[in-house]
Amino acid sequence: MFILLGFIVLIACLVVGVRQGGLGLAAVSGIGLIIFIFGMGLKPGNPPVDVMLTIMAVVTCSGFLQASKGLDVMLKYAEIFLRNNPRYITILAPITTWLLTVVCGTGHVVYAMFPVIYDIAIKQNIRPERPMAAASVASQMGVCASPASVAVVSAVAILAATAQPFGVMQILAISIPASLCGVIATGLWSLHRGKELEKDPEFLAMIADPEKKAFVYGESAEESLAHKSLPTAAYKAAGIFLLGILAIAIFGSFPELLPQVPNAKGVSKPLSMTPTIQLLMLAIATAIMLACKVSASQVATSSVFKSGMVAIVSVYGVAWMAETYFGAYMPIMKKTLSEVVLTYPWMYAVVLFLVSKLINSQAAAVTVIVPMALNVGVDPLLIVAFMPACYGYFVLPTYPSDLACIGFDRSGTTKIGAYVINHSFIMPGLIGVATSCLSGYLLVHMFY
């Protein structure tokens, strides 16, 4: 009885919290904890301190990259690439936004690309919905394939404690090609989605009005980065950041290069990748700050830093609440869930996908579901294979990047349908995630 009641409380807190935003989710989680501990007598779980510290380091580094305009350097060359290949925008746009997320660690870089993608598509008489919706979905799919993303470093921190620990490069060796396959599948499917503009009655009726036609085909209000001159310090910052990411990749691939430190039993082993990532991210941030003369006060007001800090607080509340609930009933769940998941391994991916939608965060979904999955006996290989399933919040068009995509499409082709669920992102998202999970599953069984 209590296990069902606790589950209802957990879901209710997630649903109510998501409506209030990231900080609201953390606050509402506190109510759930009070019910669990004071009302139901459950033992308090442990907040994911290692995960939170890693997120803080990554967000700090990304904040310095944005404040130094190093992020603008990457966006500038992405825009140049797309404008030089306008005919293939439907395929290249999602690949470009995916790659930007892989390099930068956050899908929020896509906002700067939406006006570029729209401008290219409309001038090529390509239905803007095709590349724009695919690009929005692809930008979030890149999160599970980035060494600088919160979701990946969270997974590394959690899997580090398993009998068969997976380093960052072992995870990326699967998630990068798997998610790329999903992005390509999304782009290919989008090539012929919807009606051609010259055959779309809604679009034709819109541009019949001269003012609306000028609005649809007019120049983007956003300043183009392709012809914008950026300071030398911005290029220097981008170079430092990319070298730092390379260093993380090298240490993840060759742990013997890491310093030897004694573990709890006094046996010397290479330093774990969790503190290694934390140290390197802080070092990269310091190098950018000193070499590019970035003011620390600028970082605190940057959009990347703000959204990252909200993610930390959100993960803190949600993961603590989930750990308290699942920890209390794990013996019962382990007996039931282990049989289901071991018989139907894909059920783990479904659970991760659904929780991601409830929480609207890939990192939070990973920190909630992966520890539970390990406790019920899910093979760590399956967790690595199904990393792309942590992106499920496209199911309802409430995520900021999707809403921004709709706003930037002045043609009105990217939209929310009459039934809400039939929106422009649902099919690209389902195709992308399903293809990525299938690819990850095949890759794991090929190489492990």
Residue listed under structure tokens 């299938």 = 438
CA-CA distance, 70 to 320, in Å (whole number)? 35
Helices (H), 84-220: 89-104, 114-123, 129-141, 150-159, 168-190, 201-207, 210-217
* 106 three-state secondary structure: coil
Burial class (CB in 10 A: 0-12, 13-18, 19+), 419: exposed
pLDDT at 148 over 90: no
Domain total in the chain:
1
- % the chain with pLDDT above 90: 29
349-407 tens-digit pLDDT = 998 898 887 777 788 788 888 888 888 788 899 999 999 999 998 887 767 778 778 88
CB atoms within 10 A of CB 8: 10
Taking residues 157-174, report their average pLDDT: 79
Predicted confidence (pLDDT) per residue in 398-436, tens digit:
677 787 788 888 898 998 777 767 889 999 999 999 999
> Average pLDDT of the chain?
84
pLDDT of 280 above 80: yes
Rounded mean pLDDT, 32-55: 84
User: Where would I find the H helices in 232-361?
Assistant: 232-253, 273-291, 296-300, 303-343, 346-359
Number of H helices, E strands in the chain: 20, 2
Q: Which of the listed ranges 2-11, 260-269, 276-285 does the model predict with the highest average pLDDT?
A: 276-285
Question: How far is 448 from 307, CA to CA, in rounded Å?
Answer: 36
pLDDT, one tens digit per residue, over 212-224 is 888 888 765 455 6
> Could you report the per-residue pLDDT of 294-324, keeping only the tens digit for each?
888 888 887 778 767 776 777 788 778 877 8
Q: Are 428 and 137 in contact (CB under 8 A)?
A: yes
User: pTM here?
Assistant: 0.74
- Domain of residue 105 covers 2-447
